[in-house]
């Protein structure tokens, strides 16, 4: 297993990655990428072992809900690291789809398991390279004005294929080691060259990554940016320009009917990653609202008690749905556990739909200091300190504690990272329309209608 330092060194591999108009050759020392690298390095250190048989629990592919929960428990200390999360999602996606792909060619399943063993042995972090540029959304890939709007095969030899195109918004691309490329959606006959799933190293010839990040510009007092100041992850436009993929890293090549299997598996695990911890995350927001209410002395006001109860019910329902999604999961032919798409998509929809309301409640209880709390530098200025301390302290919190609370609230809900987080919650894993579609696809409407039809029978009318 790699140490944090070895991981940092491993990123100096000649990759072509760009940020703010310049090429970055050492992400660990790039001001707006180093927080992401450091977060990943800390996680490498926290899991490190010299035992050659040990490996990070992210490479465990769970076969039961107990194994899934144990894996979650082991991974809890790695949650601040985006690259660990994307590695888990993409490898689970591959094993979920493996049996279906094996029906086309057994070699696809072998390639998937061999690849996971390779990533585990070398302790590599993998990006989920799925979302294509897509161009005109109503046109099929082969009808676009530029064929590169979707990643596709442009050449092939007996050793492998060459691919072109661009994948967008790919989290952690420039601070990880591998791009796992999957088709973004179902493909049709005639679109064989777009039905390509494979893995390539980030430093493969022809791969370039153009980063964006919400990491603050310049040196910032981390107390004013308590989350975004030390936890940020870049997203990348990943350009593939005649990139060679050897046969052993190809998981699908040309079988259009199975492109959707990969896209659906990815959607499921991506949404699951966003919501299965939803309840736990929301409990912190409930606690935040309660502390803010106490600090303002309004915790017993009827409208505040109502608002807190609304948050508690929401958080509890999200936690319950996350549990239900795993408890109602299924095993594929290889025995790999997959969450219930019905519960996952319904939960994601419900959580997103409520998110604006949650922010309204938090901001209403907190008041305008949410956006106007003085910086820590002003708070510590000798001319200002005593006055600010007198105005900010309350019976339940010191002035400094109150400032910490408000800077956390502003950073996570009302500033650059807060905006990113809000939009990401809505968009990642597909928008609300996608959640509705998947929920409806998996809901047993026939059963629902047969229950309702009983009302039509006079003898059973009472049951209604």
Residues 169, 230, 404, 442: which binds ligand FAD (CB under 6 A)?
Answer: 169
Which part of the chain contacts ligand FAD (CB under 6 A), choosing from 133-141, 237-245, 351-359, 395-403? 133-141
Q: Determine the Cα–Cα distance for residues 319 and 160; give it in Å rounded to an integer.
A: 45
If you ran DSSP here, which 8-state letter would residue 373 be given?
P
N-terminal to C-terminal alpha carbon distance within the chain: 61
Site string for ligand FAD, 201-230 (x = CB under 6 A): ------------------------------
Chain CA centroid to CA 150, Å:
22
Q: Is 235 in the site for ligand FAD (CB under 6 A)?
A: yes
Q: Which is nearer to ligand FAD, 134 or 355 (CB)?
A: 134
At its nearest, how many Å lie between ligand FAD and the CB of residue 172?
7
Q: Which is nearer to ligand FAD, 91 or 291 (CB)?
A: 91
Residues 100, 128, 211, 253: which binds ligand FAD (CB under 6 A)?
Answer: 128
Residues 137, 218, 300, 372: which binds ligand FAD (CB under 6 A)?
Answer: 137
Q: Determine the Cα–Cα distance for residues 342 and 74; give it in Å rounded to an integer.
A: 27
Q: Determine the Cα–Cα distance for residues 107 and 252; give it in Å rounded to an integer.
A: 10
Residues 429, 435, 438, 439: which binds ligand FAD (CB under 6 A)?
Answer: 429
Contacts of 369 (CB under 8 A, 6+ apart): 402, 406
Q: Is 188 in the site for ligand FAD (CB under 6 A)?
A: no
At its nearest, how many Å lie between ligand FAD and the CB of residue 168?
7
Q: How far from 128 is each of 200, 240, 287, 350, CA to CA, in Å? A: 11, 14, 33, 25
DSSP one-letter string for 282-327? HHHHHHHHHHHHHHTT-TTSHHHHHHHHHHHHHHHHHHHHHHHHHH
Q: Which is nearer to ligand FAD, 24 or 90 (CB)?
A: 90
Q: Is 421 in the site for ligand FAD (CB under 6 A)?
A: no
- Residue located via tokens 């095969």: 153
Q: 212: which strand partners?
A: 235
At its nearest, how many Å lie between ligand FAD and the CB of residue 127?
6
Q: Determine the Cα–Cα distance for residues 278 and 344; give it in Å rounded to an integer.
A: 11
Q: Which is nearer to ligand FAD, 145 or 368 (CB)?
A: 145
Q: Is 171 in the site for ligand FAD (CB under 6 A)?
A: yes
Q: Which is nearer to ligand FAD, 266 or 366 (CB)?
A: 266
Whether the Cβ atoms of residue 211 and residue 270 lie closer than 8 Å to each other: no
3-state SS track over 319-351: HHHHHHHHHCCEECCCCCEECCHHHHHHHHHHH
Residues 135, 147, 367, 430: which binds ligand FAD (CB under 6 A)?
Answer: 430
Q: Is 427 in the site for ligand FAD (CB under 6 A)?
A: yes
At its nearest, how many Å lie between ligand FAD and the CB of residue 130?
3
Which part of the chain contacts ligand FAD (CB under 6 A), choosing from 103-111, 253-261, 342-350, 426-434? 426-434
Tokens standing for residue 397:
């919190």
Q: Which is nearer to ligand FAD, 401 or 424 (CB)?
A: 424
Residue nearest to ligand FAD (CB): 130
Q: How far from 289 is each of 296, 304, 362, 404, 455, CA to CA, in Å? A: 11, 9, 6, 14, 45
Residues of span 87-106 touching ligand FAD by CB under 6 A: none
Q: Is 178 in the site for ligand FAD (CB under 6 A)?
A: no
Q: Is 397 in the site for ligand FAD (CB under 6 A)?
A: no
Whether the Cβ atoms of residue 78 and residue 58 lie closer than 8 Å to each other: yes
Beta pairing, strands 196-201 & 178-181: antiparallel
Longest dimension (CA), the chain: 83
Whether the Cβ atoms of residue 426 and residue 353 lie closer than 8 Å to each other: no
Q: Which is nearer to ligand FAD, 86 or 208 (CB)?
A: 86
In this structure, what are the phi and psi dihedrals at residue 152, rounded to the nearest 5 degrees? -150, 160
Q: Is 134 in the site for ligand FAD (CB under 6 A)?
A: yes
Which part of the chain contacts ligand FAD (CB under 6 A), choosing from 31-39, 125-133, 201-209, 394-402? 125-133
Q: Which is nearer to ligand FAD, 86 or 340 (CB)?
A: 86
Whether the Cβ atoms of residue 352 and residue 278 lie closer than 8 Å to each other: no
At its nearest, how many Å lie between ligand FAD and the CB of residue 102?
24
At its nearest, how many Å lie between ligand FAD and the CB of residue 373?
27
Q: Determine the Cα–Cα distance for residues 35 and 285; give it in Å rounded to an integer.
A: 24
Task: Count CB neighbours of 450 within 10 A.
Answer: 10
Which part of the chain contacts ligand FAD (CB under 6 A), choosing from 123-131, 194-202, 255-263, 453-461? 123-131
Decide: residue 3, CB within 10 A, 0-12 exposed, 13-18 middle, 19+ buried.
Answer: middle
At its nearest, how many Å lie between ligand FAD and the CB of residue 174?
12
At its nearest, how many Å lie between ligand FAD and the CB of residue 175?
12
Which parts of this chain interact with ligand FAD (CB under 6 A)? Answer: 86, 128, 130-131, 134, 137-138, 169-171, 235, 423-424, 427-431, 433
């Amino acid at each position: 297993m790699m140490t944090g330092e070895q991981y940092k060194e491993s990123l100096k591999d000649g990759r072509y990655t760009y940020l703010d108009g310049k090429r970055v050759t050492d992400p660990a020392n790039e001001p707006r990428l180093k927080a992401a690298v450091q977060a990943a390095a800390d996680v490498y250190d926290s899991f490190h072992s010299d035992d050659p048989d040990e490996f990070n629990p992210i490479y465990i592919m769970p076969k039961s809900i107990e194994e899934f929960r144990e894996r979650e428990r082991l991974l809890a200390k790695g949650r601040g690291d985006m690259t660990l999360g994307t590695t888990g999602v993409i490898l689970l996606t591959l094993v979920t789809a493996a049996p279906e792909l094996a029906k086309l060619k057994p070699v696809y399943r072998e390639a998937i398991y061999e690849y996971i063993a390779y990533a585990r042995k070398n302790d590599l972090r993998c990006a989920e390279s799925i979302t294509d540029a897509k161009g005109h959304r109503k046109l099929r890939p082969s009808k676009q004005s530029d064929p590169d709007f979707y990643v596709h095969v442009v050449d092939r030899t007996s050793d492998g294929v060459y691919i072109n195109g661009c994948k967008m918004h790919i989290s952690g691309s420039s601070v990880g080691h591998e791009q796992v490329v999957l088709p973004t959606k179902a493909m049709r006959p005639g679109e064989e060259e777009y039905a390509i799933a494979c893995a390539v190293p980030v430093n493969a010839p022809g791969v370039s990554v153009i980063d964006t990040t919400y990491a603050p510009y310049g040196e910032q007092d981390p107390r004013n940016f308590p989350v975004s100041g030390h936890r940020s992850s870049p997203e990348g436009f990943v350009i593939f320009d005649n990139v060679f993929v050897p046969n052993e890293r190809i998981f699908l090549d040309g079988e259009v009917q199975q492109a959707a299997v990969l896209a659906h598996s990815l959607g499921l695990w991506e949404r699951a990653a966003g919501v299965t911890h939803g309840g736990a995350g929301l409990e912190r927001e409930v606690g935040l609202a309660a502390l803010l209410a106490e600090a303002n002395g309004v915790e017993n006001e009827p409208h505040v008690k109502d608002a807190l109860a609304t948050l508690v019910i929401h958080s509890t329902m999200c936690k319950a749905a996350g549990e239900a999604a795993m408890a109602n999961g299924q095993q594929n032919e290889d025995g790999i556990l997959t969450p219930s798409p019905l519960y996952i998509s319904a939960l994601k929809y419900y959580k997103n739909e409520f998110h604006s309301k949650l922010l309204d409640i938090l901001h209403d209880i907190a008041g305008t200091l949410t956006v106007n709390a003085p910086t820590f530098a002003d708070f510590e200025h000798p001319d200002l300190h005593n006055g600010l301390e007198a105005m900010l302290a309350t019976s339940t919190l010191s002035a400094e504690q109150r400032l910490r609370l408000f800077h956390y609230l502003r950073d996570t809900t009302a500033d650059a990272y807060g905006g990113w987080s809000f939009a990401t919650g809505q968009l990642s894993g597909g928008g609300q329309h996608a959640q509705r579609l998947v929920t409806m696809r998996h809901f047993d409407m026939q059963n629902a209608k047969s229950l309702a039809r009983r009302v039509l029978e006079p003898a059973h009318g009472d049951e209604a």
